[in-house]
Structure 1
Amino acid sequence: MVLPEVEQSRLPRRRDAQERRQKLVAAAQGEFAVHGVDASLEKIARDAGVAIGTLYRHFPTRLDLLMVAFRPRIEDFLGGAKRAMEMDDPWEGFVYYLENLFGLQAGNRGFNDFLSRRFTNSSETEQIHDQMCRQIGEVLARAQDSGQVRPDLTQADIVNLIWSNGRIIDATSSTAPNAWRRHLYLALDAYRAERAHPLPEPPMTNQQLYDGMVRLSTLE
């Protein structure tokens, strides 16, 4: 079938727009990985070879661009919980979940930021963070029910570990890029049920945890 002349003229424009979008996503992935979620949008546009107005036509907000740029990592991250829950040994599933999570965190400063913060003006990111918290709870509860993880460990304790791991990654990424794994396994030893001792401070509440993640979004 031969397309009408008007339709034929639109096809190159559509291809050009798609190519520009792909270049913007690739440039954003590079900039966010190195400089975090607050990376310069102007620099991303320049790297993609387009004007800043073109970037905003494709991605009206920073979060729109973030979500597309991080989509592959988000899918890997959320898929890690499913694989963890399918493992026969709940402890091995718990370890796998955290190591997969922190490995994704370590390889990308922007994704590190995304995991640590709450973006309250985006229902999409709120849903992803809510899903993350549910996954942490499920993987943790399964390991606790098996008697392998100390019963007083909470979801907030795991998010605190994400925060501390993020700072380790920031400090060591160029000098000792795998240092985070030592810190993780030291923490895992402390999480074993047989290592449990009474703690001097109660866990954070869900609201305190949420407020902390929101505050990180306003500090930087």
Structure 2
Amino acid sequence: MVDEQCRGLRKDAERNRQRVLKAARELFAAKGMEATLNDVARHANVGVGTVYRRFATKEDLVEAVFEDGIDQVVGLAETALQQEDSWDGFVWFVERLCELTATDRGLREMVYSKAYGGYRVECARLRLSPTVSKLVERARGDGHLRPDIQSTDMPIIGLLAGTVSEWAGQVEPDLWRRYVAVLLDGMRHREGQPSLAVDALEQEQMDEAMRGWRPAG
């Protein structure tokens, strides 16, 4: 009888944990890092104490939510590398990356800022960089991508899509797709095209920019 009660309590605890995680994903997607644990509790329709028993700090909850989110982006890049045509794979990745960053503010802030997330999230970020680099190098090496495009351009393209969505999403939710198409067309290699006026950021500069950007919350 005692064992059955314990199993029941464990099941209840896990259900509550999943409710909290689901609520956190939804709130972070809509509000970004400014959402608090109290906000999460209200959205999950559970007591604040229930949230704090599962996640002692906001940092713990962020880690649980966004380790999987960044792994999802890594998975997209790995899938894109499997496509036979390097340009098709590159375009597929950029479009899906931008869809995520345009529709999930929290993931955008987590991927492109180092203000949040601890060891587990940082490990996920470290997996992302070399995979995206391979994707860019392959398309560039095959002559599809202009030679001055670098892997450090990819986060900025994702941020641009997110900014368009944040600014005009209430008017036209898919407007970001228009500008991603414009950007992709501009990244294609064409004979005789002039070099870009400014070089891409070096990885060290990108890391510094990510450390310096502190979204609300």
So what's the TM-score if we normalise by structure 1? 0.88
| 2:13 aligned residue | 17
Structure 1 stretch 115-124 or stretch 180-189: which is displaced more?
A: 115-124
The alpha-carbon distance between structure 1 residues 103 and 62, as it changes in their structure 2 partners (threshold 3 A), is same
The question of whether the paired residues in 2 share the 8 Å contact of 1:73 and 1:104 is answered with no
> 5+ unaligned residues in a row in structure 2: which ranges?
none
Deviations 1:117-138 (Å, cap 9, x if unpaired)?
1247611111222222212211
Question: Of residues 173, 180, 183 in structure 1, which corresponds to 2:176?
Answer: 180
1:194 to 171, 190, 196: 190
Q: Alignment identity in percent?
A: 28
Q: Which runs of 5+ in 1 are unaligned?
A: none
Change (3 A) 1:210 1:75: closer
Structure exhibiting the larger radius of gyration computed from Cα positions: 1
Q: Which residue matches 1:38?
A: 34
Aligned-partner Cα distance in 1 for 2:128–2:165: 20
Cα distance, 1:215 vs structure 2:
1.4
- Distance change >3 Å, CA 219–CA 13, structure 1 → 2: closer
Match of 1:84 in 2: 80
Does 1:132 find its partner at 2:128?
Answer: yes
User: 2:91 corresponds to which letter in structure 1?
Assistant: V
CA distances 1:107-165 after superposition (whole Å, capped 9, x unpaired): 22212222221247611111222222212211000001101111111122222222222
In structure 1, which of residues 36, 58, 68 is the aligned counterpart of residue 54 of structure 2?
A: 58
Verify the 8 A CA contact 1:120 1:126 in the aligned structure 2.
no
Deviates more, 1:81-90 or 1:11-20: 11-20
Determine the C-alpha separation between the residues in 2 that align with 1:213 and 1:197. 29
Question: In 1, distance between residues paired with 2:216 and 2:41?
Answer: 25
Aligned residues, how many?
216
Aligned equivalents of 2:105 and 2:123: distance in 1? Answer: 21
Secondary structure of the corresponding residue to residue 196 of structure 2 = coil
- Offset at residue 53 of structure 1 (A): 2.9
Task: Kindly indicate whether residue 187 of structure 2 is the aligned counterpart of residue 215 of structure 1.
Answer: no
**Alignment partner of 1:69 is 2:65:** yes
SS for the counterpart of 2:33 is coil
Check conservation: 1:32, 1:109, Cα contact below 8 A. yes
Is the contact between residue 76 and residue 96 of structure 2 (CA under 8 Å) also seen in structure 1?
A: yes
* Superposed displacement of residue 187, structure 1: 0.9
Distance 1:114 1:133 in 2: 14
Moved more, 137-146 or 65-74: 65-74
Return closer, same or farther for 1:31/1:218 CA change in 2, 3 Å cut-off. Answer: closer
Aligned to 2:166: 170
Tell me the distance in 2 between the aligned counterparts of 1:190 and 1:159.
Answer: 16
- Confirm or deny: 8 A CA contact 1:116 1:213 kept in the other structure: yes
Matched with 1:97 is: 93
Letter in 2 for 1:211: E
The alpha-carbon distance between structure 1 residues 219 and 174, as it changes in their structure 2 partners (threshold 3 A), is closer
TM-score by length of 2: 0.89
Distance 2:110 2:215 in 1: 13
Q: Distance in 1 between matches of 2:122 and 2:67?
A: 15
Aligned position for 1:106: 102
RMSD (Å), alpha carbons? 2.1
